[in-house]
């Protein structure tokens, strides 16, 4: 039972959630455009990616598409997903089909291309992130994430999103904490 001082966050409305999901996809598209345009730059890829993500966040706020808080939150979700995908690429040497854990034909081509391109570039500098000890692999109910399969850390049940979306509570136990589930080849 929550204490009286614990914040109670009401569940987001579908309209609000859909707007943030579209913002995640737009941010990914803009990030893809920025990263493709600057692919020849000699700066370390992830440092460049952070700068590009900051520029995309700022742009979306300037255009009135998101508040600063929303842009930061969506950017954090996107950075977490890209780090997780890049980590998978580096540690397995596999492609992202197994990271998503379902037929990539179910993913909209635009999202697939943008996410794969940015994740590939991000994986080039993953060691820098590992050195910093940053944690990006935590997923929880209410977060927005890229398509894929997540596993409940409480009971191990799978939750599969075939498109960018809000993470629901675990259908088996109601848990709210998840990890990315990947197939091993």
**Assigned domain for 96 exists:** yes
- Alpha-helical runs (H) found in the chain: 14-37, 45-62, 68-92, 97-100, 109-123, 126-132
2-19 pLDDT, tens digit per residue, is 343 333 344 455 777 888
pLDDT at res. 77: 92
The residue that leads in pLDDT, 50 or 47, is 50
For tokens 């697939």, the residue is 112
166-175 pLDDT, tens digit per residue, is 999 999 999 9
Q: Please, which pLDDT band fits residue 54 given cuts at 50, 70 and 90?
A: very high
Q: Which residues contact 83 (CB under 8 A, 6 or more apart)?
A: 122, 126, 129, 134, 136, 137
**Assigned domain for 157 exists:** no
On the 0-12 / 13-18 / 19+ scale of CB atoms within 10 A, 11 is exposed
**Please, what is the average pLDDT of the chain?**
76
- Residue numbers of the domain that contains 57: 14-136
Q: What percent of the chain has pLDDT over 90?
A: 31
**Assigned domain for 143 exists:** no
Query: φ and ψ at 56, to 5 degrees?
Result: -65, -40
pLDDT at res. 11: 46
91-140 pLDDT, tens digit per residue, is 877 776 667 666 666 666 777 777 777 776 666 555 555 545 444 568 99
**Assigned domain for 47 exists:** yes
pLDDT at res. 119: 74
**Assigned domain for 52 exists:** yes
- Predicted TM-score (pTM) of the model is 0.70
- The count of structural domains within the chain is 1
pLDDT at res. 7: 38
Weakest-pLDDT range from 57-66, 109-118, 133-142, 174-183: 133-142
**What separation in angstroms does the CA of 18 have from each of 4, 50, 114, 124, 142?**
30, 25, 20, 32, 12
**Assigned domain for 85 exists:** yes
- In this structure, the strands spanning 139-140 and 144-145 are unpaired
pLDDT at res. 106: 63
For tokens 């191990």, the residue is 156
**Assigned domain for 149 exists:** no
**Assigned domain for 174 exists:** no
148-163 pLDDT, tens digit per residue, is 889 999 999 999 888 8
Nearest to 120 by CA among 78, 74, 85, 163: 85
DSSP classification of residue 7: -
pLDDT at res. 174: 94
pLDDT at res. 92: 78
């Amino acid at each position: 039972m929550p204490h009286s001082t614990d914040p109670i966050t009401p569940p987001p409305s579908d309209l609000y959630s859909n707007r943030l999901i579209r913002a995640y996809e737009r941010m990914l598209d803009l990030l893809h455009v920025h990263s493709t345009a600057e692919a020849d730059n000699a700066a370390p890829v992830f440092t460049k990616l952070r700068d590009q993500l900051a520029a995309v966040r700022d742009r979306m706020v300037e255009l009135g598409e998101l508040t600063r808080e929303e842009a930061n939150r969506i950017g954090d979700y996107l950075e977490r997903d890209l780090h997780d995908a890049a980590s998978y690429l580096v540690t397995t040497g596999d492609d992202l089909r197994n990271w998503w854990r379902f037929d990539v034909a179910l993913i909209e081509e635009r999202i697939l291309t943008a996410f794969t391109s940015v994740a590939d570039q991000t994986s080039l500098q993953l060691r820098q992130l590992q050195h910093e000890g940053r944690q990006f692999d935590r997923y929880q109910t209410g977060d927005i994430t890229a398509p894929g399969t997540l596993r409940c850390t409480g009971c191990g049940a799978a939750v599969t999103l075939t498109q960018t979306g809000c993470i629901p509570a675990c259908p088996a136990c109601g848990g709210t904490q998840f990890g990315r589930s990947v197939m091993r080849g």
